[in-house]
Amino acid sequence: MQFDADLTACAELVQKGDPDRFLATMAAPAEARPLLFVLYAFNIELARAPWASQESMIAEMRVQWWRDVGAEIAAGRPVRRHFVATPLARMLKPELAGCIDGMAEARRWDIYKDGFEDEAAFDSYIERTSGSLMWMAAASLGPAEEAVVRGFAYGAGIAGWLRAIPGLEAQKRIPLVDGTLEGVQALARKGLENIEKARRNSRSVSKQARVALLSGWQAEALLKQVIRQPERVAQGTLGQSEFRRRTGLMWRAASGRW
The CATH number of whichever domain residue 240 belongs to comes to 1.10.600.10
Q: Which amino acid is at 182?
A: E
pLDDT for the residue 1: 63
Domain residues for the domain of 39 are 1-112
Q: Are residues 57 and 125 in the same domain?
A: no
Task: Return all residues near 40 (Cβ < 8 A) that are at least 6 apart.
Answer: 10, 14, 18, 21, 22, 25, 133, 215
How far is Cα 87 from Cα 35, in angstroms, rounded to an integer?
A: 9
Q: pTM, whole model, 2 decimals?
A: 0.96
Last residue of a domain, one of 112, 137, 167: 112
Number of domains observed in the structure of the chain: 2
**∠ Cα 143 98 215 (to 5°):** 50
Q: Are residues 118 and 222 in the same domain?
A: yes
215-238 residue pLDDT tens: 999 999 999 999 999 999 999 999
pLDDT for the residue 18: 98
Q: Are residues 168 and 230 in the same domain?
A: yes
Give the bridge partners for 144, in sequence order.
205
Query: Which regions in the chain score pLDDT beneath 50?
Result: none
Q: Are residues 63 and 135 in the same domain?
A: no
Radius of gyration of the chain (CA): 18
Q: Are residues 21 and 95 in the same domain?
A: yes
pLDDT for the residue 154: 98
Last residue of a domain, one of 68, 93, 112: 112
Q: Are residues 101 and 117 in the same domain?
A: no
Q: Are residues 92 and 185 in the same domain?
A: no
Q: Are residues 124 and 234 in the same domain?
A: yes
Q: Are residues 103 and 44 in the same domain?
A: yes
Q: Are residues 104 and 56 in the same domain?
A: yes
How far is Cα 115 from Cα 137, in angstroms, rounded to an integer?
A: 29
